[in-house]
Amino acid sequence: MKIVKPGFKIESRINGEAILKKIERFGRTCYKSEARTTPDSARKFCAMLIKNGHESVLEHVSVTVRIICDRGVSHEIVRHRIGVAYSQESTRYCNYKSKGIKVIRPFFFESDDLRYQLWIDVMRACESGYVKLIESGATPQEARSVLPNSLKTEIVMTLNLRAWRHFLKQRCSEKAHSQMREIFVPLLAKFKELIPVIFEDIQAEYK
């Protein structure tokens, strides 16, 4: 068994200024204001779209991110359906017998905490049961019934920018699960760094 950390990798190549210019080019179609485009007008135009709630124009741009998380977190992620495409590591087809399972450590269990040791014991028991089932002739899709929520998974998600805005508002909120926030608060910060204007009004809330 191997314990790994959650995280993300942005798979898309992002040029923030180019994204803003693309949104401006398409958005000005709605107002037939193409003649007002200048070399530095994109930021102001995109900010106007967001302020006025004209976010449908943002759907012309998508960003793909690979998320490393546990299965419990992934179940919450895939509840978002509009403007989203997913590809996820499948426990039906992946056989974890030879290399052992990988699990995501819950950050809220300290290493010197009894609860952490109890969690370790349960994870090892799950791995042992899984291996025994495979060795007895069970297929991966049958043996997966004993795998825990803490099982590490990878899920690739592609969302348009409007969908990303909605997703991050929901999953960076103080009401979101702490393990969701562990991943998506840093992703929001990275998006703010890479793509000007589009995510500036979204704040990560802290308890």
Instruction: With beta carbons less than 8 A apart as the criterion, state whether 47 and 196 touch.
Output: no
Instruction: With beta carbons less than 8 A apart as the criterion, state whether 172 and 181 touch.
Output: yes
Between 8-12, 45-49, 202-206, the lowest mean confidence (pLDDT) is in: 202-206
pTM for this structure? Answer: 0.94
How do 7-10 and 62-70 pair as beta strands? antiparallel
Q: Look at the domain 1-11+62-207 and name its fold.
A: Gyrase A; domain 2 (3.30.1360)
pLDDT tens digit string along 152-201? 999 999 999 999 999 999 999 999 999 999 999 999 999 999 999 999 99
pLDDT tens digit string along 60-100? 999 999 999 999 999 999 999 888 999 999 999 999 999 99
Can you spell out the DSSP letters for 126-148? HHHHHHHHHHTT--HHHHGGG--
Instruction: With beta carbons less than 8 A apart as the criterion, state whether 70 and 178 touch.
Output: no
Note if 92 is an active site residue: no
Token pair for 131: 């291996």
Residue ranges per structural domain of the chain = 1-11+62-207
Q: Contacts by 92-99 with C-beta closer than 8 Å and gap 24+? A: 92/140, 92/141, 92/144, 93/140, 93/141, 94/140, 95/134, 95/140, 96/127, 96/130, 96/140, 96/147, 97/130, 97/131, 97/134, 97/135
User: Considering 71, 144, 165, 171, which one is annotated as catalytic?
Assistant: 171
